[in-house]
């Protein structure tokens, strides 16, 4: 194997190792987030509050889009990602109310 190919293989491995670490961070971060949203769902159910809060959701989407711009991430992707998470959370909240 040439030196250039060997260096490229090493760089590729480094990038993939970083991606794997970041994926683990994302998974554990999402798990922690869902622990908190589950607690919110229980509180809402106990106090007969609606499972969704459109005002809060709008603020969170705007906040995440702003953060994504600061981080150099596509704001539309961030919006889609948060909308997906919000829908999952609402479904969990509805389950607590059943």
CATH number at residue 37: 1.20.59.10
Q: How many domains, in total, are found in the chain?
A: 1
Burial status of residue 89 (CB atoms within 10 A of its CB: 0-12, 13-18, 19 or more): buried
- What pLDDT is stored for residue 70 in this prediction? 97
Rounded to the nearest 5 percent, the helix, strand and coil shares of the chain are: 85, 0, 15
Q: How would you class 93 by CB atoms within 10 Å of its CB: exposed for 0-12, middle for 13-18, buried for 19 or more?
A: buried
Residue 96 has pLDDT above 80, yes or no: no
The pLDDT of residue 98 is 64
* Structural domain for 76, as ranges: 3-97
Per residue in 2-50, pLDDT (tens digit) is 899 999 999 999 999 999 999 999 999 999 999 999 999 999 989 999 9
pLDDT digits (tens, 9 = 90+) for 39-95: 999 999 899 999 889 999 999 889 999 999 999 999 999 989 989 998 988 888 888
């Amino acid at each position: 194997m040439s030196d250039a190919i060997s260096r490229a293989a090493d760089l590729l491995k480094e990038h993939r190792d970083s991606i794997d670490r970041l994926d683990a961070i994302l998974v554990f971060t999402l798990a922690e987030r869902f622990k908190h949203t589950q607690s919110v769902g229980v509180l809402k159910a106990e106090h007969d509050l609606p499972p969704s809060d459109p005002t809060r959701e709008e603020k969170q989407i705007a906040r995440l889009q702003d953060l994504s711009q600061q981080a150099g991430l596509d704001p539309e992707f961030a919006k889609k990602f948060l909308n997906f998470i919000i829908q999952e959370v609402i479904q969990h909240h509805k389950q607590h109310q059943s």
